[in-house]
Amino acid sequence: MRVISGSKKGRSLKAVPGTSTRPTTDKVKESIFNMIGPYFDGGRGLDLFAGSGGLGIEALSRGFEHCIFVDRDFKAIQTIKSNVKTLELAKRAQVYRNDAERALHAAAKRESGFRGIFLDPPYKEQKLKALLTMIDEYQMLEEDGFIVVEHDKEVELPETVGDLEMTRKETYGITGVAIYKKRG
């Protein structure tokens, strides 16, 4: 695994030890960033189910100012911390060991808004509609923001969730990717 583009292009990322996480492949990561706009002029990100932190780190490399990484697995948290330290991104990152729902509640209490939210849960534990509903109800997505949902290709996601609308959907092998933005 590596950073595909931006200021940290070509740098290697450590993977989470063991088989508890499924890293986003470089091909899928590159496709995701081609869909959402390859580079950013600032913005804050939220990488839920962060694993090794690959999606959030890619967003930082491509111009995000700050990213919050959340995972409930201890090995994943240690891997993210190691990756952001090695890539000299620690000052632009916050890393929390928490589950996704509790992390969204905490961010909502701080009235945090995000330009980009990455949802890449384990394929066997998909609560994507509930998470999208929480993001919509807490109004966590900025007006020009996006949500990237990585999922098993067999999962059917709704076209709309509250004020969120699916604007793009692609399949790469066993992986599906959906992009949501605010309607209007």
- Cα–Cα–Cα angle for 104, 152, 161, nearest 5°? 45
Domain presence at residue 11:
no
Domain presence at residue 5:
no
Domain presence at residue 76:
yes
Q: Residue range 117-127: average pLDDT? A: 81
Q: Which domain holds residue 163?
A: 26-182
For the CA atoms of the chain, what is the radius of gyration? 15
Domain presence at residue 122:
yes
Domain presence at residue 8:
no
Contacts of 37 (CB under 8 A, 6+ apart): none
Domain presence at residue 12:
no
Q: What is the pLDDT of residue 38?
A: 82
Domain presence at residue 1:
no
Give, as one character, the DSSP assignment of residue 38: S
Q: What is the pLDDT of residue 110?
A: 86
Domain presence at residue 165:
yes
Least confident of 15-24, 94-103, 133-142, 167-176: 15-24
Q: What is the pLDDT of residue 129?
A: 92
Q: What is the pLDDT of residue 112?
A: 78
With cut-offs at 50, 70 and 90, classify the pLDDT of residue 125. low
Q: Residue range 105-120: average pLDDT? A: 91
Q: What's the CATH code of the domain at 44? A: 3.40.50.150
Q: What is the pLDDT of residue 124?
A: 64
Pairing of the two strands 141-152 and 114-119: parallel
How many domains are there within the chain? 1
148: tokens are 């990237």
152: tokens are 């098993």
Q: What is the pLDDT of residue 134?
A: 95
Helix (H/G/I), strand (E/B), else coil: 145: strand
With cut-offs at 50, 70 and 90, classify the pLDDT of residue 111. confident
Is the whole-model pTM more than 0.85? Answer: yes
Contacts of 46 (CB under 8 A, 6+ apart): 56, 67, 68, 70, 103, 107, 112, 114, 116, 117, 118, 140
CB atoms within 10 A of CB 6: 19
